[in-house]
Structure 1
């Protein structure tokens, strides 16, 4: 069997695994199929790229397990006309998935090296609707606001007010909320004319959302 056939077989098994874990949105499954996760994983761990596990990346961060990436993406209910903000670029994998669903994706991270590496990956994949920027994610990216959807991929005790301010009316925000040192609740917030409503989705564990921009990395 050729390398290409091996890869096709691996991806087919990967997609079947996502379906077994409850991912049903065809657009989300197609996006997961189109983005080569191996490109976003450290070279020494690429044999695990399509395993349903979180893996370490640079700067003490992680790339989430694929089923959680898919679940968060499905919960955000992104459509083709949406502008999306992602807080916590990491490897860039989640932003790449979102780029196949949204009109425009803005992703921010406090680590310059992670942003630079993600930019290279986006260019290699020809993703022209993604902008990766260095910023304090707690403040969002007001110069590109408002956003139809916001995804936070780091744990926070409460959603920073600036993110709700940058979310459109009728917009959705998904974030892991709770003690960054423990288990958090993945929560979806809906912004309406009368305020914000919250729905708990599941228990998760993410690295913490830190304040400021890294001075060295």
Structure 2
């Protein structure tokens, strides 16, 4: 399969046609080989406009959704970025093209090892993979200019918002019902405010579901 051609078609057919205009974001998606970050048997589907299963209950976010989140986050060359739920490291590899430094946080040790190996193979030296709790973030390198939660959530853990700088941004997809979700941009200006960006059906990361309470 001609992955380079498939990558160009993804950018032209999925991103540019869906209001992704930021030159840095476009260039990152053009340069990072998405097929390397999915299971080998799924590489032929790496550039379709759907979320792709990574296994172990995790997904690679649909390209258009991820691109629009990164565009809304306004990452610049001086930005420090935390990727929460980094999976195999695709979003971290993209962001490394835009930011000064990336921390890729992943709770699944197997996925974290894959991400670390792939980033090393692609000679991406401004991203580091950390194995740890997604709900707790990674305070050791905080505060961050931008946090991307690389998957759907039912709620944003408070610890993540606390790790933003003043004026910092957090982007993710919040699933409000089992069938409906919305991409949101959160901003820290004293308090945390948020706005809806667009509808999206990104699968939820299991550890970022709301705590269930008993009803009597």
Residue 115 of structure 2 aligns to a residue whose secondary structure is: helix
1:60-209 correspondence to structure 2 within 5 Å: 60-179=57-176, 181-193=178-190, 195-205=191-201, 206-209=203-206
Partner of 2:212: none
Q: Distance in 2 between matches of 1:177 and 1:13?
A: 28
Q: Does 1:56 align with 2:53?
A: yes
Q: TM-score, normalised by structure 2?
A: 0.89
Counterpart Cα distance in 1 of 2:64 and 2:162 = 29
**Number of aligned positions between the proteins:** 206
Alpha-carbon separation, structure 2, partners of 1:182 and 1:15: 27
CA distance in 1, matches of 2:103, 2:77: 15
Larger strand percent = 2
SS in 1 for 2:140: helix
Distance, in Å, in 1 between the alignment partners of 2:91 and 2:138 is 17
Runs of 4 or more off by more than 4 Å in structure 1? Answer: none
Identify the range of structure 1 (83-92 vs 177-186) with the bigger mean alpha-carbon deviation: 177-186
2:86 and 2:3 map into 1 onto residues whose CA distance is 26
Given candidates 14, 17, 23, the residue that maps to 2:10 is 14
What is the SS of the residue equivalent to 1:101?
Answer: coil
Q: Give the superposed CA RMSD.
A: 1.6
Alignment partner, residue 215 of structure 1: none
**Other structure's SS at 1:139 match:** coil
Structure 1: state its 5+ residue gaps. 212-217
